[in-house]
Amino acid sequence: MSHTTVTAHLREAGCVFAEDEARILLEAAQETASSDFADRHAVLGRLLARRVAGEPLEQIVGWVDFAGQHIAVAPGVFVPRQRSTLLAQQSILAVQAAGESARFLEAFCGVGAVAATVSRAVHGTQIHLGDYDETALNCARLNVGAQATPHLLDCLVGLPQSLSGRFDVISAVPPYVPDSAAQYLPHEAAEYEPATALFGGADGLDLVRRLITESHDWLAPGGVLLIELGSQQQQPATDFAEALGFIGTRTLGEDEQTVVLELRRLRS
């Protein structure tokens, strides 16, 4: 199949970026199949069928372009969104401000896109990864490399006590979609990504509040917690955090729908 034919199939299926996706699928088929033309055609047909059925392109080809990197993903895991590059950028700044050999944790890390970006930008950072999903955590280890320390966690429960009060920066994209908003999710997210990586309770803040509460014991004095959430959720999250003694500032994303909330633990 030619690029034009693949594009037409994707466009008919409703893919907005059909031309770009066609190029990626053609390249994936080229890399996966043997040099035999019939084999490449068969592989491309299978990849295209999966995409037309609604499976996320990233899970099909096994990677997502995030902050200029190919980040490995696997079927069934949460795919990092481009809006989370803001969290990655803010994390880099916070780690740089913390100084040499800063200790960084990406909680709810999924495939570790933020941690991988931090690791590449600030050499010498002590990288820790935390998630409940072993498949995603394995992807994160692959993306960040052998220098990262993985932890199978329930929010922050499961971290070794030796790390208590020692993280300079904790960053996270916790599940923050309100349960009532399920109907508004794209089909590919609702059908192919785990609900536990998407939904955060009635107001979407159940795990955000848990993360804020639990992080107090793990952050170093003066340490920073960075959380991505929806812009309409920023005020209740900030109020909750400030009641626990954090100082909050906010950075609005370019889409004006996403905010990175920076919470600083006061030095004792």
151 in the same domain as 88? yes
Short-list 54, 42, 34, 220, CA closest to 21: 54
In a domain, 216, yes or no: yes
Percent of the chain with pLDDT over 90: 79
In a domain, 258, yes or no: yes
110 in the same domain as 50? no
Residue 231: pLDDT over 80: yes
Check residue 34 and give its pLDDT: 56
Whether this prediction's pTM lies above 0.85 is answered by: yes
Q: 18-32 vs 3-12: helix axis angle to the nearest 10?
A: 120
Strand pairing category for 103-107 and 167-172: parallel
Percent of the chain with pLDDT over 70: 97
What the block records as the tokens of 150 is 């993985």
Residue 32: pLDDT over 90: no
Check residue 250 and give its pLDDT: 95
228 in the same domain as 170? yes
Span of 65-79, 112-126, 233-247, 254-268 with lowest mean pLDDT: 254-268
150 in the same domain as 212? yes
In a domain, 242, yes or no: yes
Question: What's the mean per-residue pLDDT of the chain?
Answer: 93
122 in the same domain as 27? no
Q: How confident is the model at residue 265 (pLDDT cuts 50, 70, 90)?
A: confident
Handedness of CA 94, 100, 106, 112 (dihedral sign): positive
Q: pLDDT (tens digit, 9 = 90+) per residue, 175-193?
A: 999 999 999 998 889 999 9
99 in the same domain as 29? no
Check residue 29 and give its pLDDT: 85
Q: How confident is the model at residue 241 (pLDDT cuts 50, 70, 90)?
A: very high
249 in the same domain as 143? yes
| 146 exposure class (CB count in 10 Å sphere: 0-12, 13-18, 19+) | exposed
Q: pLDDT (tens digit, 9 = 90+) per residue, 52-110?
A: 998 999 999 999 999 999 999 999 999 999 999 999 999 999 999 999 899 999 999 99
In a domain, 142, yes or no: yes
95 in the same domain as 54? no
Check residue 71 and give its pLDDT: 97
Domain end: 14, 29, 61, which one?
61
226 in the same domain as 131? yes
In a domain, 197, yes or no: yes
What the block records as the tokens of 162 is 């030796």
Q: How confident is the model at residue 33 (pLDDT cuts 50, 70, 90)?
A: low
In a domain, 69, yes or no: no
147 in the same domain as 104? yes
Check residue 78 and give its pLDDT: 96
Check residue 266 and give its pLDDT: 76
Check residue 196 and give its pLDDT: 95
Residues 229 and 90: their CA atoms lie apart, in Å, by: 14
Q: What is the DSSP string of the chain?
A: --HHHHHHHHHHTT-TTHHHHHHHHHHHHHHHS-S-HHHHHHHHHHHHHHHHTT--HHHHHTEEEETTEEEE--TTSPPPPGGGHHHHHHHHHHHHHH-TT-EEEEET-TTTHHHHHHHHHSTT-EEEEEES-HHHHHHHHHHH-TT-EEEE-BTTBT--GGGTT-EEEEEE----B-GGGGGGS-HHHHHHS-GGGTB-SSSS-HHHHHHHHHHTTTEEEEEEEEEEEEGGGHHHHHHHHHHTTEEEEEEE-TTSSEEEEEEEEPP-
139 in the same domain as 21? no
50 in the same domain as 93? no
Domains in the chain, number: 2
Domain limits for position 41: 3-61
Q: pLDDT (tens digit, 9 = 90+) per residue, 190-224?
A: 999 999 999 999 999 999 999 999 999 999 999 99
The CATH number covering residue 147 comes to: 3.40.50.150
